[in-house]
């Protein structure tokens, strides 16, 4: 097989593996939906008094004020939004854990077990893409030290596989 074909096969395996895992997670562990927590059609209130009377939270506009003179907007769904954000954070953390495990497993499988270069390269690259996907989903909610630790561990594993697989 030519080098170009091996490269195309490796890239194809990497992309399809990452999509397969991503869609598998979405199929069997769906993302929380905003409409499960909050009404899709919020009530529009234009004054601070009406907002607080309805149990809402007034949010001042940042930056230039609108032409109509209204200084902000009423967030009557701040409690349900907080519940949605909490559920979404838990979901993203769980997806991160699953993708980290699957991605590392794929990297180890491709780096150590599989011998056919184009397939092992594709599996390793797909594993890396899976880890990146899960990390991006949870990155904003992850503690700074945890970010550093995770990146360090994954980097160490990749370097170890590099020495194990490619030393001659």
Does 70 map to a domain?
no
Q: Looking at the domain assignment, is residue 131 inside a domain?
A: yes
How many helices (H) and strands (E) the chain has is answered by 5, 2
Residue 129 maps to a domain: yes
Residue 73 lies in a domain: no
The reply to whether 27 falls in a domain is yes
Measured distance CA(55)–CA(76) in Å, rounded: 7
Is the pTM above the cut of 0.75? yes
Q: pLDDT in tens for each of the 168 residues of the chain?
A: 788 998 999 999 999 999 999 999 999 999 999 888 887 766 667 777 887 887 778 887 777 666 666 777 777 777 788 899 999 999 999 999 999 999 999 998 998 888 888 899 999 999 999 999 999 999 989 999 988 998 898 889 888 888 877 775
Is 128 part of any domain?
A: yes
DSSP 8-state symbol, 113: I
Is residue 67, in this structure, part of any structural domain at all? no
Residue span of the structural domain in which 151 resides: 3-32+88-166
CA distance 27 to 5: 32
Euclidean distance between CA atoms 45 and 145, whole angstroms:
42
Max intra-chain CA distance, the chain: 75
* Domains contained in the chain, number: 1
pLDDT digits (tens, 9 = 90+) for 26-72: 999 999 998 888 877 666 677 778 878 877 788 877 776 666 667 77
- Is position 48 within any domain? no
CA neighbor of 11 nearest in space, from 116, 123, 100: 123
Backbone angles phi and psi of 63, in degrees to 5: 85, -155
């Amino acid at each position: 097989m030519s080098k170009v074909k091996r490269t195309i096969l490796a890239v194809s395996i990497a992309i399809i593996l990452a999509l397969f895992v991503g869609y598998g997670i979405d199929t069997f562990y769906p993302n929380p939906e905003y409409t499960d927590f909050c009404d899709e059609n919020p009530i529009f209130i234009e004054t601070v008094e009406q907002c607080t009377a309805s149990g809402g939270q007034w949010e001042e506009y940042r930056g230039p004020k609108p032409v109509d003179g209204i200084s902000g907007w009423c967030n009557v769904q701040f409690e349900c939004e907080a519940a949605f954000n909490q559920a979404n954070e838990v979901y993203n953390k769980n997806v991160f854990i699953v993708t980290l495990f699957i991605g590392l497993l794929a990297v180890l499988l491709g780096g150590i077990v599989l011998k056919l270069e184009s397939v092992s390269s594709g599996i390793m690259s797909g594993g890396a893409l899976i880890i990146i996907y899960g990390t991006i989903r949870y990155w904003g909610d992850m503690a700074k030290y945890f970010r550093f630790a995770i990146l360090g561990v994954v980097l160490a594993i990749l370097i170890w596989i590099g020495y194990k697989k490619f030393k001659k």
